[in-house]
Structure 1
């Protein structure tokens, strides 16, 4: 996304360049014909509050997003961000773990959280009339968790079970194996959950230190979407944070994560995890582009054409025509300073060679010959449709607000995004395909094979 520039300033005054506002600063983003009114307030502490008012809804999704993920950990800290995600629902000075869950569930709401490589999110979805409760409970949990030693030990056991469960899911494990093949020891190549070796010795003091150093107002974005009033949300947030560690001295919001220097990736490699499975799981791919690269819209179209749906080339060739795999798709992952592009397939072990041969042939064909005008139109239609249809609920709209602010520093209007997709040309896609698909490919395999069973060129 790129800055839209479509902003009207409202109450308050902008802070001096590089400085913190003396009081809350609010601005209204352009009203979106495909949504509601989006407003943004920067509190004196540097914490940001964004809302999208959608009067036709009877629910509200409320999220607290922190610009901290697994890539922000040192080696010995691996898994700290995810560990903390578990612990913040275990109790505060005002509420027990049961109180936190029971208060939301008593009004039919739901809460959850997730950790990624670059951010962590805590969210609730409730009826509009119960938004004040959700704000109070969620702000209390994120801002003022006590991290009791007994809870640390309980959740350590839960996380170790989660890691073991993940190891029993080869379809998930192969993605982590591929990331490690591309990024090596870089934090982007590590498991978000950490490993048994890092989680087992992690102390409460380490987690507490990570919590208080990383969870600061300039690193936090609060987003809400649904039937709400922006001014009321801001007021309730300030009330809920009063007297907590997030009720901090004036500061400027942290800038979004820098895109430079680019992450150094490993030379193309083959990694195999021997495992007695009924199905083999394979990923063939390479380093991609970062999330601010102007070619990301062309990449979305290319991904749709190659393996983004049932009409894609890989799905048609490998599943529909030959019946070699039940699941086959391509995907792109994008970070502030790097990215991945890959093809996944799950198939019988005896069919891996043929699946890989067909996949390599199709990637080489698109790199050399490009895609067709018909495929370009279909790929653009898929990109636009999936984006707009993905905005049909308050949760996805809340996520869009937070990610725009946290990852890009601004929110691209829906119409502008659709225009950017429409502007993608055949030359744009084919030039990207020639560059991206011509790169050396890494291979990750989980299945009943010896470690030396595959080579990069096989």
Structure 2
């Protein structure tokens, strides 16, 4: 409790401290297109001699064929499991011997490969990064192992009550839209994925114009361009598969699922706009107000005052396509009816009353502070620049995000609440 309180205080202080700086995060950033067409976003930071390189692919799990869900995630997982000249163990030993880290990941809207290394060993790190990026061997035995481990992970997801409720929520919110699917796929679809599928997906996506690179740390632009020319000059052109996003239909529904847990879970979800909506930042602020920590409205009203639950939060993830706004509470089954009423009443208050000006300032500071605290390392700074770029906002949104928070008024939040909390909703119950 004490640690969480201190974290919130730090966030507020950080947000207050930097309010006047409108271009702090993108100061010194360059976006250039290299001779081969590769887009580079570069940011020099200092003084520590640490370099972070992030390769972003515009392809995520939403491009997986319906019968082979989990394909792109397997491609990413297998990148470091062996190349044409190195085994999985050799890759791990080599990167550890120079004190670096090398990894890959996949999300719904994009995938990434990242390297963090000291400047002294940058050339060796770049050589390893290029090897896993261009020359993965995708060994059959590693594919079999990763499919097995992923399947175990999927099967044990429902050991946690949150995941049971969340999966049921996504199914009812999204229908046939790919956002309803797990990035990892399912037990059934994993069985359909072959080594040939993995090789083909790599060939289709790891090239131009489907990638961009961010480099951040204590290194100049000229030196960075020379390194990329040496290790990433020979990049093929690709035609990546495009995801299909059917228009989802949402209806008021209240699915209930029984599971062998001691407690119950209640989730209330709405379909809301993507990151590219003018209302994106309004919803981010609404989320911070409703569920952003122990001083949030939900925590204070449902847990502290009413004593209804042990875990109370909300979330609004950033998505390229239509996203979701979800409120959840872990509670006793007998408290579900009262919790439903109180959540509905809180949402009605958001629509009918404007937030106090002092509270609005506090929430803005909280949102700014948590965002800036996540930019403390050069690696995270570079990651954010690439992330905003692949989402379609452009790297400059790293600063615009903060300035848009400052512009919001009490009425903006009320208008957003009226617009998005007044339509169909999905209310999920998981009961013992």
Query: TM-score, normalization: structure 1?
Result: 0.83
- Structure 1 residue 137: Cα displacement: 1.3
Which secondary structure state, in structure 2, belongs to the residue aligned with residue 292 of structure 1?
A: coil
Correspondence for 2:182 among 191, 197, 201 = 191
Q: Tell me, yes or no, if structure 1 residue 65 matches structure 2 residue 56.
A: yes
Mapped partners of 2:118, 2:341: distance in 1: 52
Structure showing greater relative contact order (alpha-carbon pairs closer than 8 Å, 6 or more residues apart): 2
Which secondary structure state, in structure 2, belongs to the residue aligned with residue 408 of structure 1?
A: coil
Correspondence for 1:384 among 368, 392, 398 = 368
- Structure 1 residue 160: Cα displacement: 1.1
Mapped partners of 1:142, 1:173: distance in 2: 35
Mapped partners of 2:229, 2:256: distance in 1: 51
Q: Give 1:248's aligned residue.
A: 236
Mapped partners of 2:133, 2:364: distance in 1: 39
Q: Tell me, yes or no, if structure 1 residue 134 matches structure 2 residue 125.
A: yes
Q: Aligned in 2, Cα 1:416/1:153: closer, same or farther, shift over 3 Å?
A: closer
Contact 1:262 1:338 in 2 (8 A): no
Deviations 1:241-270 (A, max 9, x none): 355xxx225x9x99xx99x98842322323
Correspondence for 1:310 among 278, 294, 306 = 294
- Structure 1 residue 182: Cα displacement: 0.5
Q: Tell me, yes or no, if structure 1 residue 403 matches structure 2 residue 387.
A: yes
Task: Spell out the pairing of 1:203-242 with structure 2 (5 A cutoff).
Answer: 203-241=194-232
Contact 1:139 1:237 in 2 (8 A): no
Contact 2:36 2:233 in 1 (8 A): no
- Structure 1 residue 34: Cα displacement: 4.7
Range 186-195 or range 35-44, more displaced: 35-44
Q: Aligned in 2, Cα 1:140/1:270: closer, same or farther, shift over 3 Å?
A: farther
Mapped partners of 2:189, 2:25: distance in 1: 46
Q: Give 1:435's aligned residue.
A: 419
Mapped partners of 1:135, 1:409: distance in 2: 28
Q: Give 2:42's aligned residue.
A: 51
RMSD: 2.4
Where structure 2 has 5 or more consecutive residues not aligned to the other structure, the ranges are: 1-21
Contact 2:80 2:103 in 1 (8 A): no
- Structure 1 residue 334: Cα displacement: 3.1
Q: Give 2:307's aligned residue.
A: 323
Task: Report the count of equivalent residues.
Answer: 410
Contact 1:325 1:346 in 2 (8 A): yes
Task: Spell out the pairing of 1:269-418 with structure 2 (5 A cutoff).
Answer: 269-408=253-392, 410-412=394-396, 415-418=399-402
Query: TM-score, normalization: structure 2?
Result: 0.88
Which secondary structure state, in structure 1, belongs to the residue aligned with residue 329 of structure 2?
A: strand
4+ aligned runs moved over 6 Å, structure 1: none
- Structure 1 residue 447: Cα displacement: 3.7
* Structure in which a larger fraction of residues adopt helix: 2
Contact 1:45 1:218 in 2 (8 A): no
Which secondary structure state, in structure 1, belongs to the residue aligned with residue 209 of structure 2?
A: helix
- Structure 1 residue 197: Cα displacement: 0.5
Q: Tell me, yes or no, if structure 1 residue 161 matches structure 2 residue 152.
A: yes
